[in-house]
Structure 1
Amino acid sequence: MTASQRATARVTVRVPAKVNLQLAVGPLRDDGYHDLVNVFHAVSLFDELTATESGAAGTFTVRVEGESAAHVPADSTNLAVRAAEALAKHAGQTAPDGHPYGAALLIRKAIPVAGGMAGGSADAAAALVACDALWGLGLSLGELMEIGAGIGSDVPFALLGGTAVGTGRGERLTPVPVTGSFHWVFALADGGLSTPQVYGECDRLRATAGEEVVWPSASEPLMAALRDGDARELGAALVNDLQPAALALRPSLARTLDAGRDAGALGAIVSGSGPTCAFLAGSAEHAREVSAALAGTGACRAAVTAEGPVPGAEIVS
């Protein structure tokens, strides 16, 4: 369908959060990034983004509602706006009918902000899918992922969803077969953690300890647990090289992790760069029990349950 054949003036996309089942951080590269092995897992905490034609042709605006909306930029620095602008540039800025591409974006947040669950990247992915449909571009998933990689390393996975190994900066993805689904509890913290600051602290701690940084690789026990659908083995295999840095910057997270373990979680880990902590449960009922226990300890602002894997960004209306 061409832009002149648009069938809708409003598109709503739902996009999931992610948890890193493994985040292996390799040496610092000359470009300032690290080589990573990231085992991404999409979970059922969702943001929704609605894109409509902009009031003024060729302009992009964003409004944010919901979880910690006040802490999300509502200007051109918002990753969803940047993604929409990048898509318009890829498409040539102006539709075949002479209409300049533009969009008004409404984001309804449920994914924690600056919580290590890639909420900003998820919104960027949602903007790509929504605007592609709004403008009738008909780009493939691969094309959208290539554009998304230029916005942020986690954007391609938010488009793909499921479970996947990410290499390079995390943007080169290989889907991972998973048997069944896994049940999670996420302990939400007050405030966020800066991803660049956490990586910087990781480098500092390694240098101070004289640690030899090796080339990362995917964990075979973790891959086997995913293939077998074995929650107990998966819980034992969770690993995050950024966790010591996150704990150094936010020592209170150690109490949160301990509280989840004491509540019977099969595995406990800081999600990505934090400060959200993720706990693996054996069933939906077990997840509810762990969530209630965590909420009762005061070790987190709130605890929510989810399951995974789930699909990536998809149109819901």
Structure 2
Amino acid sequence: MPLHLPPGATHLATRPLSREDATAVTALMAACELHDVGAVVIEEADIVGDWQRPAFDLSTQTVGVLDEGRLVAYAEVYKGRWVDAAVHPGHRGLGIGTALSHWTRAVGARDGGTVVGQPVPGGSPGERLLSALGYRTLWTSWVLELPAGRAIEPQPLPQGYAVREPRDDDDLRATWTVNEDAFLEWSDRERATFEEWAATVTHRPGFEPWQLRLVVDPSDTVVGMAFVVVSNGSAYVDKLAVRRDERGKGLARALLVDAFEVARTHGGERSELSTDSRTGALGLYEKVGMQVTSVWRHWAADVAPAAAVVEH
């Protein structure tokens, strides 16, 4: 699917991305994050993990924009629905973002999607652009931080329950099931396969077993999980889920305390996570002392049926 840049951008080149572009995409997104929210949270392992998902095809689902060989913008569309796109702050205002929007909607239609969208920082140039292009807000997300030096009050586990690392493939598959079952209660998407889940968890570059924290019941069955990543001195809980019939016992809070404590021993002095308005969990995290540091909104737009997409 070609990307049609505005007439004034003839000095720019476009091409699909490859695995070798992960470093450049990371640098591009880091520049955007620093400009838009004042902090860098992306790391290359995030990009590599996403790109190694079995259903992701770099050659047909990505596009890069280059200025004299340097990547200045990019976009990707996963499963005809989930978009990531960025334009370097120094190259905004040229119409590149609008061109990427048209491209993502065309790719979404081609791949059978009906809606495409992505999260962008609240009040950012990206949000203003998507609003002007007719996108609508579907949900709001918050990044929260536990201030340095503050700890969450410990939460005792019920008798017979324990937190441990995964031991074997059966543990991993049980963890995937708990994670997917919980998130599909509120997330409007198809169920991720075990291989897709593993690509961003156990196969994520640098993964170590201590990062995956499991709550098991007295029969040693996995009933809760947390996945924590340490980057740039920050511990980030990327996933947190408890089986529906095991909620109300303090397991999520116990997992959170454990994840942050374990991460601290591996260099994670600051503690962060994110949640969104679909989960209803914001109040829970604020009650344990976490504070909102940035607000993001997921903006989405309908796409035309594939038969209506005309390449020019």
- TM-score (normalizing by structure 2): 0.30
- TM-score (normalizing by structure 1): 0.30
